[in-house]
Amino acid sequence: MSKKDMLNFLNGLSTSSLINTLNIEYSEIGENYLVAKMPVNSAVYQPDGILHGGATAALAETVGSTAARIFSNGNNQSRGIELSINHIKSVSKGHVYAKAKALHMGRSTQLWNIEITDDNKNIISISKLTTLTLNKNKSK
């Protein structure tokens, strides 16, 4: 599958989920990394009119979990089991971009670094996500 086809496929999976509610869109894929973007507007604000940390965390877990799933064996699913996030800078407009890069690709667990930046490439948040790899047939 081409990179463009994979991005279209991933974006098509999210029509009735939190990913759709937050308008998260996968935008770039490469060797062991995946990028998604999310608009920053009143739908994702905290009361002070800036991006809510929970929305940022949802973006981080979304892109990291999806990356874990697509870069593991096709017969597997991934579940986030630990997420840590440090918020560095606030943002109130534009888009934020989350780039998940593999730090460890084990047989049963993976560790992902997710850097979230704004339109000007300023670092907004840094996150680490640990995922558990499950056999698709046994995860239900």
In the predicted structure, residue 75 carries a pLDDT above the cut 80: no
Band of residue 32 on the pLDDT scale cut at 50, 70, 90: confident
Q: What mean pLDDT do residues 48-71 have?
A: 96
The answer, yes or no, to whether residue 140 has pLDDT greater than 60, is no
The stretches of the chain forming alpha helices (DSSP H) are: 3-12, 18-21, 53-71
Instruction: Provide φ and ψ at 124, rounded to 5°.
Output: -95, -45
Confidence of residue 16 (pLDDT cuts 50, 70, 90): confident
The beta strand positions in 31-122, using DSSP E, are: 33-39, 76-87, 95-105, 109-118
- pTM for the full predicted model: 0.93
pLDDT at 137 over 70: no
Tokens of 101: 């890069």
Q: Using CA atoms, how far apart are residues 116 and 94, in angstroms rounded to an integer?
A: 13
Mean pLDDT within 39-65: 97
Active site (annotated) includes residue 28: no
**Who has greater pLDDT, 70 or 86?**
86
The confidence band for 76, taking pLDDT boundaries of 50, 70 and 90, is confident
- Given 25, 28, 31, 61, the catalytic residue: 61
Question: Does the structural domain 3-138 have CATH classification 1.10.540.10?
Answer: no
- Residue carrying the six token digits 């939190």: 18
Judged against a pLDDT cut of 70, whether residue 73 lies above it is answered with no
The pLDDT assigned to 107 comes to: 87
- Percent of the chain residues topping a pLDDT of 70: 94
DSSP label at residue 40: -
Rounded CA-CA distance 98/67 in Å is: 11
